Amino acid sequence: MLESYFPVLIFIIVGLGFGFIPIILGRLVAPYRPDSEKNSPYECGFEAFEDARMKFDVRYYLIAILFILFDLEIAFLFPWATVFKEFVVAGEHAWFMFGSVMVFLAVLVIGYIVEWKNGALDWE
């Protein structure tokens, strides 16, 4: 019974090896010459001037959520576009598929226009 788990054990060992061997080799082979520039915190390309726990503007998170939303739109459109041609050739429900995606895009475009009108995309 335990011999059936042997490939799983080998897989775990190889996976851990792929994770830890480069880290160990990097520590052993790489030169260690820290200076003030390497030890300074890097965030946005300029020196940090306030506490790391400062509050961010809510608009930053709103822009991030909007990006994720419209990025997911593309994730839904790629599979639809690859299958749509096959449905057109077969003549099965092609107009229904086209209409459903147009409704989907219309809702997203209306949402985008509302966000634009409300100033959610303005950055100061």
User: What are the structure tokens assigned to 52, written together?
Assistant: 């790391």
Q: What is the pLDDT of residue 78?
A: 86
CATH code for position 47:
1.20.58
Q: What is the pLDDT of residue 23?
A: 94
Using CA atoms in the order 53, 54, 59, 63, what is the torsion angle rounded to 10 degrees?
-40
| ∠ Cα 16 18 24 (to 5°) | 90
In a domain, 12, yes or no: yes
Using CA atoms in the order 65, 67, 70, 76, what is the torsion angle rounded to 10 degrees?
-90
Q: What is the pLDDT of residue 106?
A: 92
In a domain, 124, yes or no: no
Q: Which domain holds residue 22?
A: 2-117
Q: What is the pLDDT of residue 15?
A: 96
In a domain, 123, yes or no: no
| ∠ Cα 46 62 108 (to 5°) | 130
The residues near 101 (Cβ < 8 Å, ≥ 6 apart) are 77, 80, 84
- C-alpha 123: how far from its chain's center? 22
In a domain, 7, yes or no: yes
* d(C-alpha 115, C-alpha 109), whole Å: 10
Q: What is the pTM of this model?
A: 0.48
Which residue ranges of the chain lie beneath pLDDT 70? 41-52, 56, 124
Q: Is 91 helix (H, G, I), strand (E, B) or coil?
A: coil
Q: What is the pLDDT of residue 42?
A: 64
Q: What is the pLDDT of residue 74?
A: 81
Domain count for the chain, please give it. 1
In a domain, 122, yes or no: no
In a domain, 60, yes or no: yes
